[in-house]
């Protein structure tokens, strides 16, 4: 599992560490670690002299980059071209002195007239920007040291212009965080560096695991001796976590102890969703799957999934809503009966996963306070839910949720006292804020997984884990991981249909469980 700490907690840990250490020691540790990574990324081909160019901003992030260039000169035995491109008129002073001492070429890209420079005042480096653009175009490694954890989302125009000049072949390393992104990972999108690799210090930050993670590339954490004494703010499960969390049956188990999952899904119109959810639940290893629905989908499930049982009965957790019409016509007796079955499940004290049409039945928290609840909307469904229930979000639309996924998932979790799994290329799992639990974010699925019915499969998978006794955060994040990996395994690099994701789950789970014995 990757754990990430909030910017405030990191700053507090840095202060504690700095109080015990000589001045500047923490930055030296960061810059030395950064220089070692850069040295390892230099091209093997020794026929040309490697060129490393750092974009340098005005804070300590720029200081890290300048010191890293200075250390690189010592670290690498071979001759190196090292260039610092200043994007600020006030770079880190000691870092700049160290870089100059190490014979790093300093280019001032701020240009005449920018940031209060008087027109009559001569430019320090008249061709600084032009030379910077040229160097960036042919650099082997580009260090992004413009903004770190003190950065606000968005980039100055000058930096955007310089980034545009970076050659396609350059290996871009973000120092601590990709500049322009929100270090807390709350705001997704906007301008910002897309790095091949991010070298961060002390611990991961939310930007590295949330929806902004795609901008970070490979993540390397340099140990600078921080002591994080608070709980993480964000987490991501990795493949090695599956064995510890997946409910693996023992010799004493039987179908009931493993968990019966009930599925109240579909109706006479949407017959496919129940089939997908039930198949996924069976393939995820539910002790038993009980389907509750009208004759049409029941016949289909009977024909395609002989393992399922039918009609009301005892379960350990309910999946409510895939393909459910929450507002059937008054003459549609079968539809009304299905809504009643869904309401009974929601009113029970049992764990419930609520998806799609089931979300339309919620007017507030479930009546049984404390009943475990996992809501699984996509961005459009979350926007609709909040616009209906939260007077402060009456204008919210899908785009609003996509821009600030965490904010709105958290809002729904608070309002409905439920864990919210927000689906998308990054899937967020957010417990009610009062729980203090870290946000989980998974991005394991290929974009091919965004196909009709894929969410119904996820519902069956996560419902099975709830029935096996996992809490909603573990059930949701583990299901998202396995769903994503199964989508990949079913047809690596190509399209996949939802049913194949479900059918791939047994082999994918077996493969992920086997890692534990390989690793252990």
Ligand X SMILES: NC(=O)C1=CN([C@@H]2O[C@H](COP(=O)(O)OP(=O)(O)OC[C@H]3O[C@@H](n4cnc5c(N)ncnc54)[C@H](O)[C@@H]3O)[C@@H](O)[C@H]2O)[C@@H](O)CC1
Ligand Y SMILES: Nc1ncnc2c1ncn2[C@@H]1O[C@H](COP(=O)(O)OP(=O)(O)O)[C@@H](O)[C@H]1O
Annotated binding-site ranges for AMP = 423-427, 455
- List 114, 348, 368, 425, residue binding ligand Y (CB under 6 A): 425
Q: Say how far apart CA 65 and CA 87 lie, in whole Å.
A: 12
* Close Cβ partners of 300 (under 8 Å, ≥ 6 residues apart): 271, 274, 275
Pick the binder of ligand Y from 320, 445, 478, 499 (CB under 6 A).
Answer: 445
CB of 456 to ligand X, least distance (A): 41
What is the C-alpha to C-alpha distance for residues 440 and 295, in angstroms, rounded to an integer?
Answer: 39
Out of ligand X, ligand Y, K ion, none, which partner does residue 151 contact, by CB within 5 to 8 A per kind? ligand X
d(CA 301, CA 274): 8
Residue with tokens 């629905």: 293
| Region from 138-146, 217-225, 374-382, 416-424 binding K ion, contact rule CB under 5 A | 138-146
Residues of span 118-147 touching ligand X by CB under 6 A: 147
Q: Looking at beta carbons only, is 196 or 390 nearer to ligand X? A: 196
Q: Which of 9, 64, 140, 144 binds K ion (CB under 5 A)?
A: 144
Which partner, ligand Y, ligand X, K ion, none, binds residue 88 by CB below 5 to 8 Å per kind? Answer: none
Q: How far is CA 151 from CA 7, 29, 176, 202, 493, in A?
A: 11, 21, 11, 18, 36
**Inter-residue contact 413 to 420 (CB < 8 Å):** yes
Instruction: Looking at residues 203 to 222 of the shown chain, list those that interact with ligand Y (rule: CB under 6 A).
Output: none
Contacts 24+ apart (CB under 8 A), 400-408: 402/188, 402/189, 403/187, 403/188, 403/189, 404/186, 404/187, 404/188, 405/188, 405/211, 405/379, 406/185, 406/186, 406/210, 406/211, 406/430, 406/439, 407/186, 408/382, 408/383
CB of 61 to ligand Y, least distance (A): 31
What is the footprint of ligand X within residues 392-451 (CB under 6 A)?
none
Q: Which does 201 bind (CB under 5 to 8 A by kind): K ion, ligand X, ligand Y, none?
A: ligand X
Q: Which of residues 97, 103, 127, 152 is near ligand X by CB under 6 A?
A: 152
Q: Site residues for K ion, window 161-180 (CB under 5 A)?
A: 174-175, 179
CB of 80 to K ion, least distance (A): 21
Residue in the shown chain whose Cβ atom is closest to ligand Y: 455
Considering the complex, what minimum distance in angstroms separates the CB of residue 14 from ligand X? 4
Choose among ligand X, K ion, ligand Y, none what residue 144 binds, the Cβ cut-off being 5 to 8 Å by kind. K ion
The burial class, CB within 10 Å (0-12 / 13-18 / 19+), for 471 is middle
State the sign of the Cα–Cα–Cα–Cα dihedral 391, 392, 397, 402. negative
Q: Which stretch binds ligand X (CB under 6 A): 58-66, 283-291, 398-406, 500-508?
A: 58-66
Give the whole-angstrom CA distance, residue 87 versus residue 110: 5
Q: How far apart are CA 261 and CA 283, in angstroms?
A: 12
Q: Looking at beta carbons only, is 249 or 424 nearer to ligand Y?
A: 424
| CB 297, CB 325: distance < 8 Å | no
Structure tokens at 109: 């890209």
Residue 316: contacted member of K ion, ligand Y, ligand X, none (CB under 5 to 8 Å, by partner type)? none
- Interface with ligand Y, residue 429, by CB under 6 A: no
Neighbour tally for 254: CB within 10 Å? 9
Query: Residue 85 corresponds to which tokens in the numbers above?
Result: 């491109």
Under the criterion CB under 6 A, does residue 192 sit at the interface with ligand X? no
Residues that bind K ion (CB under 5 A): 61, 144, 174-175, 179
Binding site for ligand Y (CB under 6 A): 356, 378, 423-425, 427, 445, 447, 449-450, 452-456, 458, 483
User: Which residues contribute to the site for ligand X (CB under 6 A)?
Assistant: 14, 18, 26-27, 30, 57-61, 64, 147-152, 154, 156, 175-176, 201, 224
């Amino acid at each position: 599992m990757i754990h990430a700490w909030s910017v405030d907690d990191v700053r507090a840990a840095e202060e504690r560490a700095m109080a015990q250490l000589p001045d500047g020691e923490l930055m030296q540790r960061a810059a030395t670690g950064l220089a070692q990574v850069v040295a390892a990324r230099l091209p093997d081909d020794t026929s040309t002299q490697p060129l490393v160019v750092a974009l340098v901003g005005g804070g300590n992030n720029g200081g890290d980059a300048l010191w890293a260039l200075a250390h690189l000169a010592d670290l690498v035995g071979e001759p190196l071209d090292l260039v610092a491109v200043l994007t600020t008129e006030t770079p880190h002073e000691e870092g700049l002195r160290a870089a100059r001492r190490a014979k790093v070429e300093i280019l001032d890209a701020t240009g005449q007239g920018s940031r209060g420079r008087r027109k009559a005042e001569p430019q320090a480096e008249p061709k600084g920007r032009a030379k910077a653009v040229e160097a960036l175009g042919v650099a082997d490694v580009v260090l992004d040291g413009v903004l770190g954890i003190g950065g606000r989302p968005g980039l100055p125009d000058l930096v955007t212009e310089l980034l545009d000049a970076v050659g396609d072949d350059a290996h871009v390393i973000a120092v601590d965080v990709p500049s322009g992104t929100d270090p807390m990972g709350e705001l997704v999108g906007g301008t910002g560096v897309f790095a091949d690799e991010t070298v961060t210090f002390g611990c991961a930050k939310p930007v590295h695991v949330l929806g902004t993670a795609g901008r970070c590339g490979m993540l390397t954490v340099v140990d600078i001796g921080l002591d994080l004494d608070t709980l993480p703010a964000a987490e991501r499960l990795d493949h090695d976590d599956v064995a510890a969390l997946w409910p693996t049956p023992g010799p004493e188990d039987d179908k009931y102890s493993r968990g019966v999952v009930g599925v109240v899904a579909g109706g006479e119109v949407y017959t496919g969703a129940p089939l997908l959810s039930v198949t996924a639940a069976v393939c995820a290893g539910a002790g038993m799957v009980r389907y509750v629905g009208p004759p049409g989908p029941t016949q289909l499930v009977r024909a395609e999934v002989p393992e399922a049982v039918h009609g009301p009965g005892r379960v350990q957790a309910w999946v409510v809503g895939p393909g459910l019409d929450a507002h059937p016509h008054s003459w549609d007796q079968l539809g009304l009966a299905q809504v009643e079955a869904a309401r009974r499940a929601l009113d029970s004290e049992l764990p419930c996963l609520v998806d799609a049409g089931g979300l339309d039945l919620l007017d507030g928290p479930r009546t049984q306070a404390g009943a475990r609840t996992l809501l699984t909307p996509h961005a459009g469904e979350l926007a609709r839910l909040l616009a209906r229930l939260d007077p402060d979000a009456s204008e919210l639309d899908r785009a609003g949720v996509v821009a600030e996924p965490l904010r709105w998932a958290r809002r729904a979790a608070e309002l409905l006292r439920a864990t919210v799994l927000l689906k998308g290329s990054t899937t967020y799992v957010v417990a009610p804020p009062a729980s203090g639990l870290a946000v989980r974010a998974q991005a394991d699925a290929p974009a091919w997984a965004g196909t009709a019915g894929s969410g119904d499969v996820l519902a069956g998978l996560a419902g099975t884990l709830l029935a096996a006794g996992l809490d909603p955060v573990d059930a949701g994040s583990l299901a998202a991981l396995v769903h994503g990996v199964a989508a990949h395994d079913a047809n690596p690099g190509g399209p996949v249909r939802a049913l194949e994701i479900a059918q791939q789950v047994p082999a994918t789970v077996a493969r992920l469980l086997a890692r534990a014995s390989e690793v252990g």
